[in-house]
Amino acid sequence: MPAGGKADWLAGQLRQAIADGRLAVGDRLPPTRVLAAELRLSRGVVTEAYRRLAEDGHVEGRRRGGTVVVAAPHSVPAAPCAPEPPAPGAAHRAVPGALFAAEPDADVFDLLRAAPAHADFTPGRPALAAFPRAAWLRAERAVLAELSADQLGYGDPRGDLRLRRAVAGWLARNRGIRVRPEQVLIVAGTAQALTLLHPVLRGDGVDAVAVEDPGSLGSRQHLRHGGLATPPVPVDGDGVRVDALRATGARAVLLTPAHQFPTGVVTSGERRRDLLGWARDGGLILEDDYDAEHRYDRPPVPALRALTDRVCYLGSVSKLLAPALRTGWMVPPPQYLGPLTDAKRFTDLGNAVLPQLVLAHLMESGALERHLRLLRGRHRARRDAMIAALAEHLPGAVVHGAAAGLHLTVTYAADVPDTVLAAAALERGVKCQPLSWHRQRPGRPGLVLGYAATPPGVIAESVATLGTALRELAS
Amino acid sequence: MPAGGKADWLAGQLRQAIADGRLAVGDRLPPTRVLAAELRLSRGVVTEAYRRLAEDGHVEGRRRGGTVVVAAPHSVPAAPCAPEPPAPGAAHRAVPGALFAAEPDADVFDLLRAAPAHADFTPGRPALAAFPRAAWLRAERAVLAELSADQLGYGDPRGDLRLRRAVAGWLARNRGIRVRPEQVLIVAGTAQALTLLHPVLRGDGVDAVAVEDPGSLGSRQHLRHGGLATPPVPVDGDGVRVDALRATGARAVLLTPAHQFPTGVVTSGERRRDLLGWARDGGLILEDDYDAEHRYDRPPVPALRALTDRVCYLGSVSKLLAPALRTGWMVPPPQYLGPLTDAKRFTDLGNAVLPQLVLAHLMESGALERHLRLLRGRHRARRDAMIAALAEHLPGAVVHGAAAGLHLTVTYAADVPDTVLAAAALERGVKCQPLSWHRQRPGRPGLVLGYAATPPGVIAESVATLGTALRELAS
């Protein structure tokens, strides 16, 4: 990029930050020297960007007072399709790559989401362009037509009975779980399920929830925020190691048995039996069944909840339809149903009713199962494109966990920290998560690559970019 | 009702409880003697009801084992319009009237909602039959057409920027509050706003939130559940008494200044100045602006948040559109914005995006303001019907707070506890809340009567029922 182009880019970023309020009137811009160092730009580029904003009348130079914001751009376009600004903070936090420099904080996923990129391999999103908009609208029309006025009042904190019935049916057909609708709680996704569980677990004397290592950074952050310790338990080719789980002394464990996050290991039959034995001895399993319906080679293994009620089962539509729906469900052990209902009531009095009834329609009509079949075909093609591209562009890398789910993990031998690789990739417009984010103990570097939301062509060229970045860093 | 009719009714209630799982196969029904006493029915009626269920094959008599559920009715109709069953519990909890006998627990509003009734004067619901279904569906169609695939992924925990802009505009036009969209947090209603505030307040060293007395039972339960004490502050004809507030020593107070719940007092100008003085001295005001847009005689008073940022403002669409939407907003003091964003992220990663965008459409297009005008007319007619009916059927009663909002409060001189009156009313098919639920300290008995969701004809006949019940109890 020419220096003028960089100044243009930076001025644009700052203008946007002022327009959407991250920089308010009266705020002082960072000194040019500081910002230049942070962005790895020359100081001249920063000075030039500030000059352009001053010409526009957005900022004023005030000698010792520095450069200060004096007016926001006049029209802030509503632009529903524009990426949303990151959480409050100085403008330079949005700079690509910098977010991998520090220990990931609670807002790290917000920052990563807000970073601009050409390709987004963030795991956990299905093929969002395939969202069944027409079917959703048809179901919404039907719901609005048949809804009683009373249903628009305050509702059951456990969720609408119609959706709980539909979810019970879904779990029976797809996950082998046989429960009555009254055992199902509708929640705002798995993050909320964990929030509801924190006080219930602590009230039950549980002060630590063992977690898989590697295992989801987001879940670990969440449990710690809830005042629970998260002792790590190693994962091998059969799943989580139950001997190591016993050794932690923890009374509860958070698992992803159907498709371990992030390694993709499917828990073996023998390991499942070991886990059930641990549960019989008084252990509680939190089963995060986040993407189990997406299995490419054969039908998914049944959920652990199908085998014992010492399991608190967590599921959602985030990987079936869209994370933005914020809808999920829990099937807790019987003794937790009452306390979790109380927790849900205080948290939000229950999920909103319209989306619950729309989802119930899609489940009852078979539209959701049709959509899942469509997704499986689309995701399989994207997975194959990614495996082919990895073989071509990262020939020494090892692919893990590609038999199911929406992502795979790749490890590599080069002596390059994965945070450095992820930062370099983001600066080249490719967004992905370093494997080390999801580790508590040291291990091989790698990347977690969600492929489900990205078309095959973009996958191929972006994996090529990753290969280039890794070669340059390793040389 | 003839005895056979009572047995019919009870058998029907029990059949429903079995059908929807409140009574599961294997559960034991209460002994006939116990249930008869609880329901104030003769034992013969209960025995007859059990006999009918046995004939249907739903229960079996087992001598010392009592009467046990052996089979659920075959088809459980999906019946989207049927009232939802109450939270888990024995069948007799759903019996009208009994729920007023004990101290109200966390599930009391669920139990009251689940109780069958001909007329429902539960406060807090607008004219739900007027919900703008066609406008909602049109907006949903537009949202689905213009939504980007990226917007279906994980979003901003603070809420979609488009809705935050629309809410900022709404607050400026309707509540006199001038804030930037970045100062607005979208939440799942006021209950969730309080949930998010609990840890933030405790983290700020606040261990007590003073509350109005009388004041909302639900809010008080909520604060206590969050580990906060709730010292009572008396309300007089000008609003909450600031001298008494100072005397509590609490650093925060939860107020309903625009239309005090439940007394309906509008805070006077002088009292508002006193409150601002208290806030300037370091006090924090939680302003629950639950129904302020509904003022009948003149424009609403501006929110306290319009005058100082020592206020955490809480609003929602529950009284503008429908509680079932579970959508609200906060405008916190600046220093709480970051911690509340963190709390919202952990709680549910942010509200679902589709309803947010639909609501933004309705706000941008003016449809919500049109709906509010329609509601004001409809509610005023219902308020007038209720005042007329009270004058006719409860001639000695005093009406409070009818100048605004969706409910009024009536106090009466008769020596009848208001819980007894509310129980008698419910047994006659009229649902309302006793004023004593909302008191921490003793005071005159009364009823809180929401009129907004009930047609004038039903209001008239149901207030007549209240009058009859009160006369019978007082005689």
What's the rounded Cα separation, in Å, for the pair A348 and B315?
A: 14
Are B167 and B312 within one domain? Answer: yes
A70 burial type by CB count under 10 A (0-12 exposed, 13-18 middle, 19+ buried):
middle
Our CA-based measurement puts residue A55 at a distance from the nearest CA of chain B, in whole angstroms, of 24
What's the rounded Cα separation, in Å, for the pair B418 and B409?
A: 12
- The whole-number average pLDDT for the span B178-197 is 97
The answer to the question of residue A75 being in a domain is: no
CB contact under 8 A, A324 and B192: no
CB contact under 8 A, A348 and B140: no
Q: Provide the H-helix boundaries in A40-178.
A: 43-56, 108-114, 133-146, 161-175
Size of interface A-B (CB pairs under 8 A): 245
Query: In whole angstroms, what separates CA A78 from the centre of its chain?
Result: 26
Are A230 and A342 within one domain? Answer: yes
pLDDT score for A4:
59
Our CA-based measurement puts residue A89 at a distance from the nearest CA of chain B, in whole angstroms, of 10
- The whole-number average pLDDT for the span A202-209 is 96
Higher pLDDT, A90 or A341: A341
The answer to the question of residue B279 being in a domain is: yes
pLDDT score for A128:
97
Would you call A287 helix, strand, or coil by DSSP? strand
Q: Which residues make Cβ contacts (< 8 Å) with residue B72, sequence separation at least 6?
A: B18, B19, B21, B25, B58
Beta bridge partners of B409: B400, B448
Our CA-based measurement puts residue A452 at a distance from the nearest CA of chain B, in whole angstroms, of 12
Q: Would you state the structure tokens that stand for residue B48, as one six-digit string?
A: 């007859």
What's the rounded Cα separation, in Å, for the pair B88 and A211?
A: 32
The answer to the question of residue B78 being in a domain is: no
Res. A455: pLDDT tops 80 = yes
pLDDT score for A83:
39
Closest CA to B444 of B458, B434, B431: B434
A173 burial type by CB count under 10 A (0-12 exposed, 13-18 middle, 19+ buried):
exposed
> Contacts of residue A357 in chain B, CB cutoff 8 Å?
80
Res. B82: pLDDT tops 50 = no
pLDDT score for A411:
98
Are B18 and B145 within one domain? Answer: no
Check: CB of residue A164 under 8 Å from CB of residue A353. no
> Contacts of residue A180 in chain B, CB cutoff 8 Å?
21, 24
Res. B209: pLDDT tops 90 = yes
Indicate the range of A59-73, A269-283, A443-457, B341-355 predicted with least confidence.
Answer: A59-73
- The whole-number average pLDDT for the span B356-367 is 97
Please count the CA atoms within 13 angstroms of the CA of A386 that sit on its side-chain side: 31
The answer to the question of residue B81 being in a domain is: no
The answer to the question of residue A187 being in a domain is: yes
Higher pLDDT, B393 or B86: B393
Instruction: Point out the residue among B128, B347, B352 whose CB comes nearest to the CB of A149.
Output: B128
Q: What region, left, alpha or beta, does residue A439 occupy, with left being phi > 0 and alpha being psi -120 to 50 degrees?
A: beta
Respond yes or no on whether the N-terminal peptide bond of residue A257 is cis (omega within 30° of 0): no
B124: domain CATH number is 3.90.1150.10
CB contact under 8 A, A337 and B88: yes
The answer to the question of residue B75 being in a domain is: no
Q: Which of B331, B365, B399 is the last residue of a domain?
A: B365
At residue B95 the predicted structure's pLDDT band, cuts being 50, 70 and 90, is low
Higher pLDDT, B41 or B266: B266
What's the rounded Cα separation, in Å, for the pair B465 and B475?
A: 16
Respond yes or no on whether the N-terminal peptide bond of residue A83 is cis (omega within 30° of 0): no
- The whole-number average pLDDT for the span B198-206 is 96
At residue B199 the predicted structure's pLDDT band, cuts being 50, 70 and 90, is very high
pLDDT score for A170:
96
Are A317 and A387 within one domain? Answer: no
Are B294 and B424 within one domain? Answer: no
Indicate the range of A226-235, B28-37, B164-173 predicted with least confidence.
Answer: B28-37
Determine the structural domain holding residue B224 and report its residue range: 133-365
What's the rounded Cα separation, in Å, for the pair A93 and A111?
A: 8
Res. B90: pLDDT tops 50 = no
What's the rounded Cα separation, in Å, for the pair A319 and A291?
A: 6
Query: What is the pLDDT of chain B when averaged over all its residues?
Result: 90
Respond yes or no on whether the N-terminal peptide bond of residue B262 is cis (omega within 30° of 0): yes
Counting the structural domains of chain A, the total is 3
At residue B94 the predicted structure's pLDDT band, cuts being 50, 70 and 90, is very low
pLDDT score for B471:
96
pLDDT tens digit sequence for A27-44:
788 888 878 776 777 888
What's the rounded Cα separation, in Å, for the pair A321 and A125?
A: 9
pLDDT score for B391:
97
The single residue listed with the structure tokens 């109709």 is B77
A325: domain CATH number is 3.40.640.10
Are B298 and B408 within one domain? Answer: no
Our CA-based measurement puts residue A284 at a distance from the nearest CA of chain B, in whole angstroms, of 22
pLDDT score for A52:
79
Please count the CA atoms within 13 angstroms of the CA of B5 that sit on its side-chain side: 2
- H/E stretch holding B50: helix B43-56
- The whole-number average pLDDT for the span B193-202 is 97
Q: Which of B338, B365, B392 is the last residue of a domain?
A: B365
What's the rounded Cα separation, in Å, for the pair B175 and B266?
A: 15
Are B303 and B196 within one domain? Answer: yes
Q: Which of B348, B365, B382 is the last residue of a domain?
A: B365
CB contact under 8 A, A136 and B144: yes
pLDDT tens digit sequence for B233-259:
999 999 999 999 999 999 999 999 999
Q: Which residues make Cβ contacts (< 8 Å) with residue A358, sequence separation at least 6?
A: A136, A139, A140, A143
Q: What percent of chain B has pLDDT over 70?
A: 92
Are B125 and B141 within one domain? Answer: no
* Torsion sign (Cα): A196, A199, A202, A203: negative
Check: CB of residue A266 under 8 Å from CB of residue A239. yes
Interface ipTM:
0.81
pLDDT score for B72:
65
B44: domain CATH number is 1.10.10.10
Are B180 and B159 within one domain? Answer: yes
Indicate the range of A126-140, A311-325, B11-25, B138-152 predicted with least confidence.
Answer: B11-25
Please count the CA atoms within 13 angstroms of the CA of A350 that sit on its side-chain side: 28
Q: Would you state the structure tokens that stand for residue B415, as one six-digit string?
A: 């020596």
> Contacts of residue A182 in chain B, CB cutoff 8 Å?
20-22, 24, 88
The answer to the question of residue A359 being in a domain is: yes
3-state helix, strand, coil in chain B (%, to 5): 50, 15, 40
- H/E stretch holding A473: helix A456-474
DSSP B300-331: PPPPGGGT-SSEEEEEESTTTT-GGG--EEEE
Are B451 and B421 within one domain? Answer: yes
The answer to the question of residue A463 being in a domain is: yes
Q: What single-letter amino acid sits at A464? A: A
CB contact under 8 A, A20 and B354: no
Are B324 and B399 within one domain? Answer: no
Higher pLDDT, B63 or A130: A130
- The whole-number average pLDDT for the span B282-309 is 92
pLDDT score for A96:
66
At residue A21 the predicted structure's pLDDT band, cuts being 50, 70 and 90, is low
Closest CA to B128 of A353, A136, A345: A353
Are A297 and A350 within one domain? Answer: yes
Res. A12: pLDDT tops 80 = no
> Contacts of residue A353 in chain B, CB cutoff 8 Å?
324-326
> Contacts of residue A378 in chain B, CB cutoff 8 Å?
none
pLDDT score for A75:
36
pLDDT score for B1:
46
* Torsion sign (Cα): A134, A135, A139, A145: positive
Query: What is the pLDDT of chain A when averaged over all its residues?
Result: 90
> Contacts of residue B137 in chain A, CB cutoff 8 Å?
137, 140-141, 144
